[in-house]
Amino acid sequence: MPAIDLKPADMRRLEKLAAAAGRRPEAMLPFVLRDGFDYCERMVKATHQGQADIDKHGTVSAEAVASKARAVIARHGRQAA
């Protein structure tokens, strides 16, 4: 990859983004170049929010979701008949 010369403000922004993502700035740079700072920052923020939601509420297995969906479909199928 060719050398990239960032403005000091952009370098600080990249370092802050990388720290939030738990990565090195060099690892984040390709994503920033491809997608832009705003998008990358939104994605890191959304990832943190999603993880916080999982930590607070837990998850549901795919099997439990499928079982509930089958029950809803069966229940509504009986009502229509």
Whether residue 17 is contained in a domain is answered as yes
Whether residue 55 is contained in a domain is answered as yes
- Phi, psi of 31, deg, nearest 5: -70, -40
Domain count, the chain: 1
Q: Report residue 13 as tokens.
A: 């922004």
Cα angle 49-24-36, degrees, rounded to a multiple of 5:
65
Give yes or no for a contact between 40 and 30, defined as CB atoms under 8 angstroms apart: no
Give the whole-angstrom CA distance, residue 56 versus residue 47: 14
30-75 per-position pLDDT tens digit: 999 999 999 999 999 999 999 999 999 999 999 999 999 999 999 8
Whether residue 1 is contained in a domain is answered as no
Q: Which of 42, 41, 46, 36 is nearest to 19 (CA)?
A: 41
pLDDT higher than threshold 90 for residue 4: no
Supply the range of the domain harboring residue 28: 8-80
